[in-house]
């Protein structure tokens, strides 16, 4: 009966592994597309983190144990020269300290090497709903790969192409072509050193309008948007409260800023409140001086968990403790909310309540780079003192134009309801795909509305088999394991897209079902959460206008 405290989707509190979905009504969304009111957002917030079944956990540990033992045996064989080393290893250069310690690459050498074919698969087409994967061959068990020259046409459930803007034809591509003719490729200058053009200003303005904030600044790389701008916001004497599952770029940015960093448990608002309270009451360690400022760093949608930040709670805490909020919407901008404006839109909140709205163009907009939006004074400060504005070149023109065109479609500025269709389709796809997977008995993580669907596989060998079997059957997907996830929580991840049609989803689902049966992946012991895609008004024409 332990139902309390589970609603916020905190995995650590699911002692009995029950999902909170049973609490929710099937109908979480009103017909008019407006999201539920702020007060009862929890009713529609269905997130599951089913506990790892004991037997599977034992099996998983056993799997790793065997791999490690065999790895050590083979390392031993390598040191005494029985087994040949096929990778390029560091030549012995007397006097130099080796660049790598042998234990550092144990994992790479003995575990990752066996399964390398599941990552870095090169493709030879646009990363749209379907793609051509280039076949690779290895004649030395994964040490080296060579391209065979063959292509395999598969469905793409691995790219972050949420709104289906990864296209090589259509109005966006046409506009980009014109922009390249008019502006060229690159600006070769930084924002403050004559790399700032009217196209950059247009983008800044449009992004601000899209987000509903006063102003915005754009950076050519999403990763760098975090790592180069955070140091301009906080510094020594400030505290960063960071979700434990935050992206590497946020961690790097926090570290470069020189502020003190504390992490709180993933999406756990109780833990966040405790740490906030502690920070305000006790001040800095040793000196006990009060902190200069406290910055809460959260992501909108967590890419590995498929969970959504409990933003209303974060804002409540921010107000109570006078902290600032840095929201990274890399995976949610465009993909979440009735207007595609991210988690802020999803919860029906005012974007002005968030101090720093950060996001990327790589995913939903099919471009590259990132932005930061917020109050005019903050953005002005970033314009004069962010690392990105001074020291590195501005966004290439082709990328800017892609963002401009796709964003205008999302805002309905092109005069069609194409943008709305894409949002609806993505939302429907997400719910439909998740519901079907739950019904099949798989363990899924995350929120029913998150377009990233992590499906737990646990056992390392099964992870790899899943990836290979799916690709064979025409489904390209991503698998992730240790160290990107906790050691016993290896998973496959499906990225849904508005470009996926129902037929494609059905086909993908039947492949997953088949492979899941072969590999015994239907671990779930819990009743599936109750939700439905039926209340989303789906535009029946699945092919977009463009």
Partner 1 sequence: MATVPSFIPESWEMYDMIQAFLQAPSYHLFVEVLLILWIFKLLFFSKQYAPESVLTEKEKEELIAEWQPEPLTPDVPDDHPVLQTMEKNMIHGKPGKYVIIGDKTCINMATLNFLGMAGNPVVEAEAISTLKKYGVGSCGPRGFYGTMDVHLHLEEKLAKFMNSEEAILYSYGFATIASAIPAYSKRGDVIFCDDGVCFSIQKGLVASRSKIKWFKHNDMDDLERLLKEQSQEDKKNPKKAKVTRRFMVVEGLYLNTGDICPLPKLIELKWKYKVRLFMEESFSFGVLGDTGKGVTEHFNVSGDEIDLIAASLENAIGSSGGFCCGKKYVIDHQRLSGLGYCFSASLPPMLATAAIQSLKLIEEDPNMLVNLRENCEKVHEKLSQIEGMMVVGEPIAPIKHLRLADLDMERNLDINTLQKIADHARENGVALTLARFLESEEHKLPAPSIRVSVNSQLTDEEINKTADLISQACQAVLPKEA
Q: How far is the CB of 151 from partner 1 (least distance, A)?
A: 10
Q: How many residues bind partner 1 (CB under 8 A)?
A: 123
Report whether 246 contacts 269 (CB < 8 A).
no
Q: How far is the CB of 437 from partner 1 (least distance, A)?
A: 20
SS3 category, 157: coil
Q: Where are the beta strands (DSSP E) in 280-375?
A: 294-299, 324-328, 356-360, 370-374
Nearer Cβ to partner 1 (133/298): 133
Residues 131-190 that bind partner 1 (CB under 8 A): 131, 133-134, 147, 156, 158-161, 165-169, 172-173, 176-177, 180-190
For residues 405 and 202, what is the distance between their CA atoms, to the nearest angstrom? 11
Give the binding range for partner 1 (CB under 8 A) out of 17-25, 84-92, 340-348, 513-521. 84-92
Nearer Cβ to partner 1 (14/397): 397
Give the binding range for partner 1 (CB under 8 A) out of 117-125, 432-440, 443-451, 503-511. 117-125
CA dihedral 14, 525, 445, 262 (to 10 degrees): 20
Give the binding range for partner 1 (CB under 8 A) out of 346-354, 357-365, 441-449, 525-533. 357-365
Give DSSP secondary structure letters for 72-131.
Answer: HHHHHHHHTTSSPP-S--PPP-TTSPPSS-GGGGHHHHHTGGGGGGGSS--B-S-SSSEE
Nearer Cβ to partner 1 (180/538): 180
Q: How far is the CB of 373 from partner 1 (least distance, A)?
A: 14
**Contact with partner 1 (CB under 8 A) among 90, 150, 350, 439:** 90
**Contact with partner 1 (CB under 8 A) among 302, 324, 371, 523:** 324
Q: Look at the block and give the residue holding tokens 């439905």.
A: 532
For residues 54 and 92, what is the distance between their CA atoms, to the nearest angstrom? 46
Q: How far is the CB of 246 from partner 1 (least distance, A)?
A: 11
Residues 405-434 that bind partner 1 (CB under 8 A): none
Q: Which of 383, 376, 356, 408 is nearest to 218 (CA)?
A: 383
As given in the structure block, the two tokens for residue 537 are: 């008004």
For residues 402 and 164, what is the distance between their CA atoms, to the nearest angstrom? 13
For residues 333 and 210, what is the distance between their CA atoms, to the nearest angstrom? 10
**Contact with partner 1 (CB under 8 A) among 71, 142, 195, 348:** 195
Report whether 340 contacts 424 (CB < 8 A).
no
**Contact with partner 1 (CB under 8 A) among 1, 54, 97, 541:** 97
For residue 541, give the DSSP letter: -
Residues 440-499 that bind partner 1 (CB under 8 A): 476, 478
Nearer Cβ to partner 1 (7/276): 276
Residues 249-268 that bind partner 1 (CB under 8 A): 249, 252, 255-256
Q: How far is the CB of 120 from partner 1 (least distance, A)?
A: 5
Q: How far is the CB of 103 from partner 1 (least distance, A)?
A: 11
Residues 367-396 that bind partner 1 (CB under 8 A): 367-368, 376-378, 380-385, 387-388, 390-393, 396
Residues 210-249 as x/- pattern, contact with partner 1 by CB under 8 A: ----------xxxxx--xx--xxx-------------xxx
33 beta partners: none
SS3 category, 295: strand
Q: How far is the CB of 495 from partner 1 (least distance, A)?
A: 8
Sheet with strand 146-156: strands edge to edge: 130-137, 146-156, 475-476
In degrees and rounded to multiples of 5, residue 491 shows phi and psi of -150, 165
**Contact with partner 1 (CB under 8 A) among 355, 449, 489, 513:** 355
Q: How far is the CB of 446 from partner 1 (least distance, A)?
A: 17
Helix or strand (DSSP H, E) at 203: helix 198-211
Q: How far is the CB of 224 from partner 1 (least distance, A)?
A: 5
Contacts of 135 (CB under 8 A, 6+ apart): 147, 148, 149, 150, 151, 152
Residues 283-302 that bind partner 1 (CB under 8 A): 290-295
Give the binding range for partner 1 (CB under 8 A) out of 17-25, 343-351, 358-366, 435-443. 358-366
Helices 222-233 and 248-257: crossing angle, nearest 10°? 30
């Amino acid at each position: 009966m332990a139902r309390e405290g589970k609603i916020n989707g905190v995995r650590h509190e699911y002692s009995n592994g029950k999902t909170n979905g049973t609490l929710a009504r099937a109908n979480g969304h009103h017909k008019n597309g407006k999201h539920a009111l702020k007060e009862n957002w929890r009713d529609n917030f269905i997130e599951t983190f089913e506990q790892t079944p004991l037997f599977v956990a034992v099996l998983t540990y056993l799997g790793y144990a065997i791999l490690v033992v065999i790895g050590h045996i083979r390392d031993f064989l390598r040191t005494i020269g029985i087994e040949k080393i096929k990778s390029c290893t560091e030549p012995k250069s007397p006097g130099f300290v080796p660049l790598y310690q042998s234990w550092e690459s144990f994992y790479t050498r003995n575990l990752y090497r066996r399964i390398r074919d599941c990552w870095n698969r090169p493709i030879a087409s646009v990363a749209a709903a379907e793609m051509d994967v280039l076949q690779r061959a290895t004649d030395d068990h994964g040490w080296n790969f060579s391209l065979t020259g063959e292509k395999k046409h598969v469905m793409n459930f691995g790219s972050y192409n949420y709104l289906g803007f990864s296209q090589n034809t259509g109005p966006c591509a046409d506009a980009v072509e014109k922009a390249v003719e008019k502006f060229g490729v690159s600006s070769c200058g930084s924002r403050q050193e004559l790399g700032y053009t009217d196209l950059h200003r247009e983008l800044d303005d449009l992004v601000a309008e899209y987000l509903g904030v006063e102003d915005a600044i754009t950076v050519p790389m999403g990763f760098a948007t975090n790592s180069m701008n955070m140091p301009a916001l906080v510094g020594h004497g400030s505290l960063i409260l960071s979700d434990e599952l935050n992206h590497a770029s946020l961690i790097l940015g926090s570290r470069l800023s020189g502020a003190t960093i504390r992490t709180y448990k993933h999406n756990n608002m109780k833990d966040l409140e405790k740490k906030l309270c502690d920070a305000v009451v006790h001040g800095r360690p040793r000196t006990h001086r009060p902190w200069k400022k406290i910055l809460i760093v959260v992501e909108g949608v967590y890419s590995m968990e498929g969970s959504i930040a409990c933003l209303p709670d974060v804002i409540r805490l921010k107000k109570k403790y006078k902290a600032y909020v840095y929201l990274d919407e890399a995976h949610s901008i465009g993909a979440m909310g009735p207007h595609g404006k991210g988690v802020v839109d999803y919860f029906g909140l005012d974007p002005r309540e968030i101090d720093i709205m950060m996001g990327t163009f790589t995913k939903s907009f099919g471009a590259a780079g990132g932005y930061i939006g917020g109050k005019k004074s903050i953005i002005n400060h970033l314009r004069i003192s962010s690392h990105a504005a001074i020291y590195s070149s501005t966004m290439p023109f082709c990328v800017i134009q892609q963002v401009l065109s796709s964003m205008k479609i999302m805002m309905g500025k092109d005069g069609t309801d194409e943008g709305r269709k894409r949002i609806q389709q993505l939302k429907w796809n997400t719910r439909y795909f998740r519901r079907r997977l739950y019904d099949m008995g798989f363990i899924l993580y995350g929120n029913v509305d998150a377009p990233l669907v992590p499906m737990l596989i646990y056992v390392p060998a099964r992870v790899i088999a899943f990836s290979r079997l799916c690709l064979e059957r025409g489904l390209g997907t991503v698998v992730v394991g240790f160290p990107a996830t906790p050691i016993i929580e290896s998973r496959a991840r499906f990225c849904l897209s508005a470009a996926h049609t129902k037929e494609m989803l059905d086909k993908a689902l039947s492949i997953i079902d088949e492979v899941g049966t072969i590999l015994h992946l239907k671990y779930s012991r819990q009743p599936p959460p109750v939700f439905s895609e039926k209340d989303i008004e789906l535009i029946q024409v699945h092919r977009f206008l463009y």
